[in-house]
């Protein structure tokens, strides 16, 4: 062995340990001078030491393993080389191959690091392998470059895997941390064998289940001459490299399979015995009868007996008697689970493959051969059949799959019994339909707010329209806006509605093309949606579709841009606590404010008391939900024509009048749609709007129109009106503090602070004083809100009266 090979294989830590020099914090006491404080530093990367003491004759230059031996033994360099070679138990003339393999240097560093890891050395000791030399450690405080290159080998004992030329070609890592489920790791493109390729004179080959077991046999068993050990990489880890190595052993007579004594080990042993017997018919293939729940390493730890290994290596389970050749191939039963999706360049199916009592269910794309091979490998282990046989069965089944392909189906309307249909149609023919619907909404738990709840119901039912409506429910925290939304949502057929508490940024773009088409979407807290999700929602509301460009990997591996389409239109209901909600969103919606007045609070508390005392018939509420949903199922999509569309003019000072006017026309059409069993049709089959429909729309929409005009949002307007009601009798110059307001309005401190600041900002009230002494307030703008409301109502009513006359 030449000098370079010795330096690459003999570690400085082994040399220091030989001379009883203990490494502490990368330093040792220098043996070449009196050294009370360790002054010699150990460099694992370069496999050398360096003394920094000015009193040392060897100071000033690095000392490698051969020079260290030469100086310590006070011998010649030639003698030091021989001594170093003896450490490796090899003759210096045995190997003259130049060591150009970078993995040898890496492993040398890992060997040097072993003594620095208490966890690694302790683990080896618990496994009875503390005297093992061909092992390294890749712990967290080790070499940074190696940590970076082999991150999956962190906190692992590292074993070298070698090729037929005895060169390291990859690594195996065994975790010495107990908090990791997976304890086995390999470097990418695993190759090579452990501990090395067998000698060509090998007569007896022992196959172990793991590398730890192989190391145990090599270290502790009295193996006869011409006996060699090879580790498999688990129960299914007998590789092509093992087969090729065995083929080179012309003098081989016996192969012993020494796997674990558990169910998996016994099963794998029998399978491997059969595989080897078919491949090497002239050899004796025997199975070692390992005790139950034991393995090679545990046998040594529990007994520490070399004679025990000798005993087990002499016992065997005879190979199964050869049966007459059976040319009948096993039959694999294939069963489709769920639907078959044919997408042009892919054919996807969930398939159950079964033979006798063994089966496996897998999601397959039978057009993707590369992925199919990987799935066949998994199925092979489960079914104990060859991968080729499983692949052939799958591919032979493709024509059947192509004929049974299914297309995504949209949910169908729930079929109803004839008596139920007649009852629903009778309800829809009632001249007081909207009043009866309003009563039904009250039965499911919404008290008060008659116009608000009816408007929300009409908006929700517009999902079948080509131009659906959208509603935004404003209210402070705890005002009951979510309850209002959920009550309306529960009246809509489940196949036509979706409710969300959270929406991720790109989730709308990932729906199937028809998943949102003509659906009602409800958002319990739209304030939590991020801008990307809000943008998608606005596009669905305005344009009725989403078109996105995304990258997709083709079967060839090439990345190609593709378009994804998600179709609308949708109707929507949302809740928000923000009065100044994002302008682009609020302008697309009818805005309704939750009634937060004291009178409404008394109604809600009374309902809650009735509910708690058992006076509310919950079964009746459930029955009402199903009945209204069934009524909506009886409505058929149809066009509406409004002959009075030009006769109604909304107030001209409304913000974004064009959009509101369009929404108003759709609301009228939706009211006509709900009355389709009562309205006449024109010659084209279109429903004809009546003046009564206009009356309904104006009555229901009045508060929402006022919110469009008002610069105060709904809850703020209610708060301001309460202030005016309470303090106007005291005079328009009366000043008040926050405690008077809280006593009158009964709102929370946070909401009070927010409302006062907003009114001061808008110059409706004026603030006096200082924060440390307490502020006082005075109303300085007494607007005529009630007068404005009355004027708009009278103006709209006059227009309707003109139509009726």
Please tell me whether residues 520 and 464 are part of one structural domain.
Answer: yes
Does a cis peptide bond (omega within 30 degrees of 0) precede residue 633? no
Tell me if the pTM is above 0.75.
Answer: no
| Residue whose C-alpha is closest to residue 663's, from 695, 628, 708, 629 | 708
Does a cis peptide bond (omega within 30 degrees of 0) precede residue 569? yes
Looking at every residue in the chain, the average pLDDT score rounds to: 84
pLDDT tens digits along 252-261: 999 999 999 9
pLDDT tens digits along 10-28: 888 888 888 888 888 888 9
| Residue whose C-alpha is closest to residue 127's, from 83, 174, 162 | 174
Q: Stretch 536-547: mean pLDDT, rounded?
A: 89
Please tell me whether residues 384 and 285 are part of one structural domain.
Answer: no
Q: Stretch 346-359: mean pLDDT, rounded?
A: 86
Q: How many helices (H) and strands (E) does the chain have?
A: 29, 27
Please tell me whether residues 388 and 435 are part of one structural domain.
Answer: no
pLDDT more than 70, % of the chain? 88
Residues β-bridged to residue 776? 768
Please tell me whether residues 730 and 759 are part of one structural domain.
Answer: yes
Please tell me whether residues 251 and 182 are part of one structural domain.
Answer: no
Q: Stretch 459-485: mean pLDDT, rounded?
A: 89
* Residue 506 domain flag: yes
Asked if the model's pLDDT at residue 197 lies above 50, the reply is yes
Please tell me whether residues 435 and 399 are part of one structural domain.
Answer: no
Contacts 24+ apart (CB under 8 A), 294-299: 294/260, 294/261, 295/209, 295/210, 295/213, 295/259, 295/260, 295/261, 295/265, 296/208, 296/209, 296/213, 296/214, 296/216, 296/217, 296/258, 297/127, 297/128, 297/210, 297/212, 297/213, 297/216
* Residue 706 domain flag: no
User: What pLDDT, on the 0 to 100 scale, is given for residue 656?
Assistant: 57
Q: Which two tokens stand for residue 523?
A: 């958002």
| Residue whose C-alpha is closest to residue 455's, from 309, 671, 757, 207 | 671
Q: How far apart are CA 68 and CA 77, in angstroms?
A: 10
Burial of 592 (0-12, 13-18, 19+ CB in 10 A): buried
Q: H or E stretch including 458?
A: helix 450-460
Residues β-bridged to residue 342? 347
Distance set, CA 218 to CA 221, 291, 304, 384, 700 (Å): 6, 20, 14, 31, 90
Q: Stretch 612-626: mean pLDDT, rounded?
A: 89
User: What pLDDT, on the 0 to 100 scale, is given for residue 182?
Assistant: 60
Q: Stretch 250-274: mean pLDDT, rounded?
A: 92
Burial of 678 (0-12, 13-18, 19+ CB in 10 A): middle
Q: Are 493 and 594 in contact (CB under 8 A)?
A: no
* Residue 698 domain flag: no
Give helix 785-804 / helix 691-709 axis angle, nearest 10°. 160
User: What pLDDT, on the 0 to 100 scale, is given for residue 407?
Assistant: 46
Q: How far apart are CA 709 and CA 490, in angstroms?
A: 31
Boundaries of domain holding 201:
193-320
Q: How far apart are CA 160 and CA 172, in angstroms?
A: 6
User: What pLDDT, on the 0 to 100 scale, is given for residue 90?
Assistant: 46
In this structure, what CATH number is given to the domain that contains residue 94? Answer: 3.90.580.10
Please tell me whether residues 478 and 600 are part of one structural domain.
Answer: yes
Q: Evaluate the CA torsion angle 605, 608, 612, 616 in order and state its sign.
A: positive
Q: How far apart are CA 273 and CA 287, in angstroms?
A: 7
Select the more confidently predicted residue: 249 or 177. Answer: 249
Q: Stretch 233-258: mean pLDDT, rounded?
A: 93
Residue where one domain finishes, among candidates 379, 403, 427: 403
pLDDT tens digits along 408-457: 444 455 567 888 899 999 999 999 999 999 999 999 989 888 888 999 99
User: What pLDDT, on the 0 to 100 scale, is given for residue 215?
Assistant: 95
Asked if the model's pLDDT at residue 389 lies above 50, the reply is yes
Distance set, CA 521 to CA 195, 223, 486 (Å): 64, 74, 12
Please tell me whether residues 294 and 351 are part of one structural domain.
Answer: no
Residue where one domain finishes, among candidates 370, 403, 436: 403
Q: Are 15 and 87 in contact (CB under 8 A)?
A: yes
pLDDT tens digits along 446-461: 988 888 899 999 999 9
Q: How many structural domains is the chain composed of?
A: 6
pLDDT tens digits along 702-747: 777 666 666 677 778 888 888 888 888 888 889 999 888 888 777 7
Q: Are 524 and 497 in contact (CB under 8 A)?
A: no
In this structure, what CATH number is given to the domain that contains residue 511? Answer: 3.40.50.300
* Residue 649 domain flag: no
Asked if the model's pLDDT at residue 245 lies above 90, the reply is yes
pLDDT more than 90, % of the chain? 33
Please tell me whether residues 96 and 169 are part of one structural domain.
Answer: no
Please tell me whether residues 477 and 625 are part of one structural domain.
Answer: yes
Please tell me whether residues 365 and 470 are part of one structural domain.
Answer: no
In this structure, what CATH number is given to the domain that contains residue 154? Answer: 3.90.980.10
User: What pLDDT, on the 0 to 100 scale, is given for residue 653?
Assistant: 62
Please tell me whether residues 202 and 183 are part of one structural domain.
Answer: no
* Residue 35 domain flag: yes
Q: How far apart are CA 452 and CA 436, in angstroms?
A: 15
Residue where one domain finishes, among candidates 600, 633, 666: 633
Asked if the model's pLDDT at residue 270 lies above 50, the reply is yes
- Which of 180-184, 448-452, 648-652, 742-746 shows the lowest mean pLDDT across its residues? 180-184
* Residue 385 domain flag: yes
* Residue 326 domain flag: no
* Residue 581 domain flag: yes
Q: How far apart are CA 527 and CA 522, in angstroms?
A: 13
User: What pLDDT, on the 0 to 100 scale, is given for residue 95?
Assistant: 41
């Amino acid at each position: 062995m030449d000098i370079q090979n010795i330096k690459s294989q003999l570690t400085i830590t082994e040399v220091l340990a030989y001379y009883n020099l203990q490494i502490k914090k990368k330093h040792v006491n220098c043996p070449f001078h009196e050294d009370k404080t360790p002054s010699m530093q150990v460099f694992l990367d370069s496999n050398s030491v360096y003394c920094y003491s000015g009193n040392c004759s060897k100071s000033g230059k690095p000392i490698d393993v051969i020079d260290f031996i030469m100086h310590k033994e006070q011998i010649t360099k030639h003698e030091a080389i021989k001594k170093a070679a003896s450490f490796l138990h090899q003759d210096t003339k045995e190997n003259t191959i130049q060591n150009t393999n970078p993995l040898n240097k890496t492993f040398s560093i890992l060997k040097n690091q072993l003594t620095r890891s208490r966890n690694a050395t302790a683990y080896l000791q618990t496994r009875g392998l503390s005297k093992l030399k061909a092992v390294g450690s890749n712990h967290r405080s080790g070499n940074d470059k190696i940590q970076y290159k082999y991150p999956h080998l962190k906190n692992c004992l590292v074993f070298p895997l070698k090729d037929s030329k005895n060169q390291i070609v990859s690594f195996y890592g065994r975790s010495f941390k107990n908090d990791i489920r997976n304890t086995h790791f390999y470097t990418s493109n695993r190759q090579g064998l452990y501990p090395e390729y067998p000698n060509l004179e090998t007569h007896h080959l022992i196959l172990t289940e793991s590398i730890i077991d192989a190391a145990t046999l090599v270290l502790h068993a009295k193996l006869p001459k011409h006996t060699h050990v090879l580790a498999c990489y688990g129960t299914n880890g007998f590789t092509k490299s093992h087969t090729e190595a065995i083929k080179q052993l012309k003098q081989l007579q016996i192969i012993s399979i020494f796997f674990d004594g558990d169910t998996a080990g016994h099963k794998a042993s029998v399978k491997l015995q059969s595989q080897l017997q078919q491949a090497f018919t002239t050899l004796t293939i025997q199975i070692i009868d390992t005790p139950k729940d034991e393995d090679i390493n545990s046998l040594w730890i529990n007994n520490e007996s070399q004679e025990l290994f000798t005993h087990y290596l002499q016992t065997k389970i005879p190979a199964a008697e050869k049966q007459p050749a059976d040319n009948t191939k096993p039959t694999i039963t294939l069963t489709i689970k769920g639907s078959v999706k044919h997408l042009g360049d892919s054919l996807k199916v969930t398939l159950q493959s079964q033979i006798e009592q063994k089966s496996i269910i897998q999601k397959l794309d039978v057009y993707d051969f590369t992925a199919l091979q990987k799935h066949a490998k998994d199925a092979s282990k489960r079914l104990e059949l060859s991968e080729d046989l499983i692949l052939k069965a799958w591919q032979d089944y493709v024509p059947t799959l192509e004929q049974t392909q299914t297309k995504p189906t949209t949910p169908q309307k729930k079929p109803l019994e004839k008596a139920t249909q007649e009852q629903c149609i009778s309800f829809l023919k009632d001249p007081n339909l909207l009043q009866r619907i309003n009563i039904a909404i009250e039965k499911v738990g919404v008290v008060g707010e008659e116009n608000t709840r009816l408007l929300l119901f009409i908006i929700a039912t517009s999902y079948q329209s080509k131009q659906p409506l959208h509603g935004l429910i404003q209210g402070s925290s705890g005002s009951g806006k979510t309850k209002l939304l959920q009550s309306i949502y529960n009246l809509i057929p489940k196949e036509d509605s979706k409710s969300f508490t959270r929406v991720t940024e790109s989730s709308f773009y990932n729906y199937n093309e028809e998943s949102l088409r003509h659906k009602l979407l409800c958002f319990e807290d739209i304030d939590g949606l991020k801008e990307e999700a809000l943008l998608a929602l606005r596009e669905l509301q305005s344009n009725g579709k989403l078109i996105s460009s995304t990258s997709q990997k083709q079967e060839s591996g090439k990345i190609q841009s593709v378009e994804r389409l998600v179709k609308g239109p949708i109707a929507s209901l949302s809740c928000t606590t923000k009065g100044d909600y994002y302008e682009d969103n609020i302008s697309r919606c009818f805005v309704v404010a939750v009634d937060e007045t004291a009178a409404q609070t008394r109604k809600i508390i009374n309902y809650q008391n009735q509910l708690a005392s058992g006076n509310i018939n919950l079964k009746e509420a459930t029955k009402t939900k199903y009945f209204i949903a069934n009524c909506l199922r009886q409505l058929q999509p149809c066009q509406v024509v409004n002959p009075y569309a030009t006769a109604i003019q909304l107030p001209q000072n409304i913000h974004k009048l064009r959009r509101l006017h369009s929404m108003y026309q759709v609301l009228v059409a939706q009211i006509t749609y709900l009355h389709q069993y009562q309205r006449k049709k024109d010659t084209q089959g279109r429903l004809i709007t009546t003046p009564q429909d206009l009356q309904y729309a104006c009555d229901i929409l009045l508060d929402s129109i006022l919110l469009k005009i008002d610069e105060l949002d709904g809850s703020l307007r209610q708060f301001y009106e309460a202030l005016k009601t309470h303090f106007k009798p005291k005079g328009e110059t009366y000043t008040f503090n926050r405690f008077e307001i809280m006593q009158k309005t009964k709102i929370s401190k946070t909401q009070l602070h927010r409302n006062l600041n907003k009114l001061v900002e808008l110059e409706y009230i004026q603030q006096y004083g200082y924060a440390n002494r307490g502020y006082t307030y005075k109303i300085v703008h007494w607007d005529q809100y009630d007068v404005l409301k009355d004027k708009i109502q009278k103006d709209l009513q006059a227009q309707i009266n003109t139509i009726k006359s």
